[in-house]
């Protein structure tokens, strides 16, 4: 399939010597490749806004980085952020800048979670860490100055998968938290199916359309990540698209998708399924762009349309009516 990338993306590839960046090889080699790309972009990221206070904390073995907006005199929303990287690659400077910028622009506290990585740790460790970090945020909301009724999960790529998966566990009453503890989900280019799933909805075409010659993450990379993490194609706890029975329990969800992304339809089909289940959903789509293009700070779209849309997505999620009847609806429909 002929793909027409945005001129800005093609200029970025040109700046790399005409090389299309894509992660390949072993998990260790992928980490090195991503680190090299991050080093090349390091100086292009702006500073975190000066009025955002950054505090490091920890719960169990999980490192947390908290981005505090300027005091507002009243409790504020709080987002628990899970970075991308296929559950294999750790957070980057870009994650810090995005979290700090969103704390500044939305007035929300953002708690960035350094969950344990694969292949050193296999599933379900990442999901357990994601939930434990959310519990910590819920328990410490008042101390941090957050409104405990406005907590949301938030992540990109595999982090979007964890944001959805953690919300699902909470809504299924599997965490010890109130089911309404999670107000919403921000899922940017999320993973919702396994790349080697035996069954895939017929409307899900992006994995094959964008399998090869694609920037950053192709089908082979997704398979490597999934194998490193020990993910099974039928794991409902990680791949939220599969468990349609639980979709009716989801909180309001904001999704971002990119056209030239093998994961495009992971988000597109999820939007369709959640809407059919009666869940409020909002989605922004980025034409002519590859997976997580917003990890490139030199693209005008990153701090232009992407950041603007994400800010609006967060504001939309936290403004939705709070549903206190989730567990009762689930029991009545069981």
Which residues are annotated as catalytic?
Answer: 157, 261, 291
Q: Is the dihedral of CA 175, 316, 67, 37 positive or negative?
A: positive
Q: Which residues does 58 contact at the CB level (< 8 Å), separation at least 6?
A: 64
Nearest to 181 by CA among 115, 131, 126: 131
Query: By the 8 A CB rule, do 108 and 102 touch?
Result: yes
Cα distances (angstroms) measured from residue 147 to each of 107, 151, 175 = 12, 7, 20
Q: In this structure, what token pair is assigned to residue 255?
A: 């999704």
Cα–Cα dist 149/156, whole Å: 23
Q: What are phi and psi of 184, to 5 degrees?
A: -170, 180
């Amino acid at each position: 399939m002929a793909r027409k990338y945005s001129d800005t993306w093609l200029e970025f590839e040109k700046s790399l010597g005409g090389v299309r960046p894509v992660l390949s090889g072993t998990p260790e080699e992928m980490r090195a490749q991503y680190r090299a790309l991050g080093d090349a972009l390091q100086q292009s990221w702006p500073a975190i806004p000066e009025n955002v206070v950054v505090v490091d904390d920890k719960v169990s073995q999980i490192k947390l980085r908290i981005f505090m907006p300027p005091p507002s005199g009243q409790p504020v929303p709080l987002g628990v952020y899970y970075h991308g990287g296929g559950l294999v690659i750790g957070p980057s400077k870009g994650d810090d800048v995005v979290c700090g910028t969103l704390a500044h622009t939305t007035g929300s506290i953002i708690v960035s979670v350094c969950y344990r990585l694969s292949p050193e740790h296999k599933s379900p460790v990442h999901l357990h860490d994601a939930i434990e970090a959310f519990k910590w945020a819920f328990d410490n909301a008042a101390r941090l100055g957050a409104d405990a009724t406005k907590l949301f999960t938030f992540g990109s790529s595999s982090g979007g998968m964890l944001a959805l998966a953690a919300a699902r566990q909470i809504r299924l009453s599997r965490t010890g938290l109130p089911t309404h503890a999670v107000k919403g989900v921000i899922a940017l280019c999320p993973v919702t199916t396994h790349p080697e799933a035996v069954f895939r909805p017929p409307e899900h075409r992006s994995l094959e359309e964008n399998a090869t010659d694609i920037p950053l993450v192709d089908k082979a990379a997704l398979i490597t990540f999934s194998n490193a993490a020990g993910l099974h194609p039928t794991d409902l706890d990680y791949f939220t698209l599969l468990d349609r029975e639980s979709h009716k329990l989801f909180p309001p969800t904001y999704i971002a998708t990119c056209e030239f992304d093998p994961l495009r339809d992971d988000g597109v089909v999820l939007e369709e399924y959640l809407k059919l289940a009666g869940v409020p959903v909002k989605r922004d789509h980025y034409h002519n762009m590859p997976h997580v293009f917003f990890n490139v700070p030199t693209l005008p779209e990153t701090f232009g349309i992407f950041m603007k849309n994400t800010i609006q997505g967060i504001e939309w999620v936290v403004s939705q009516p709070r549903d206190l009847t989730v567990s009762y609806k689930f029991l009545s429909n069981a």
